[in-house]
Amino acid sequence: MTKVYIDGELYEKEHAKVSVFDHGLLYGDGVFEGIRVYNGKIFKCEKHIDRLYESAHAIGIRIPMSKVEMGRAIEDTLKANSMTQAYIRLVVTRGVGDLGLDPKLCARPSVIIITDKIQLYPPEVYEKGLELIISSTPRNHQSALSPRIKSLNYLNNIMAKMEGQRAGVREVVMLNLEGYVCECSADNIFLVKDGVVKTPPPCAGILKGITRDIILDIADEMKVPAKEENITRFDLYVADEVFLCGTGAELIAAIKIDGRDIGEGKPGPIFKKLLKRFRELALA
């Protein structure tokens, strides 16, 4: 039976509840992280915890435990669920307040840790690649809310995702207000052109993904040219390869975008090389 950590206690899944006055529920007022567990090893745990605390600090939430205590709570929750392959969701909400917006009425932030399984796409899609469209829903402007804050409010992404579902695809590409490629609804995006790996820079309005940074490190290690630069929809249309990455999705190739084949219409050689090395690191 799955156990969920809430504010220092472990509850059976069906008894894991939060108040209807929690501002995380009422207003999306909170932050979160997703972490993978491979063969009992929590992958890049410190980096995820650091980003969680940065996100919380950016919106004025003081997490009521140290990073060391957070790490211990994650390990204890994982152990309580006897899981060696898992997806961990860390959630920190502003806490219980009233029906107004005032964050000062939330006395104490709430910390939730969930360990479970996740698979964003079917196995055959990972093998063959997926189709994308470019969404007409733009990414929220970064001057309104920084995408570096991994907040609980994902409505912008959800609306784009729904557009993709209506078009019969599993994922979409979101542009920023300047028309440059930003990211997908839940993943960072890369392309390969003439042997060079490219991905949008943080200033394009992306979440600076931990898996994204790992891919850039792997490319450097393997002497594959890689750089951050603004990308247009035309660049995606004429790319030799396109692939996505994220903690939930891991790495997955895209083979078609807006009805156009990408490269040869199948996962490409540079993607396969990067994927192989990523798996080696994850399972080390």
Which residues make beta-bridge pairs with 131? 256
Contact in structure between 269 and 239 (CB atoms under 8 Å):
no
Strand arrangement, sheet containing 86-93: 9-12, 3-6, 110-116, 86-93, 30-38, 41-42
Q: Is 150 noted as a catalytic residue in this protein?
A: yes
Distance separating alpha carbons of residues 284 and 53, to the nearest angstrom: 27
Collapsed DSSP state (helix, strand, coil) of residue 254? strand
164: how many CB neighbours lie within 10 A of its CB? 21
Q: Which amino acid is at 64?
A: P
Distance separating alpha carbons of residues 111 and 87, to the nearest angstrom: 17
Q: Which amino acid is at 141?
A: H
Plot region of 40 (φ>0 → left; ψ -120 to 50 → alpha; else → beta): left
- Nearest Cα to Cα of residue 187 among 91, 274, 120, 88: 120
The residue from 44, 67, 128, 150 that is catalytic is 150
Catalytic residue annotation: 150
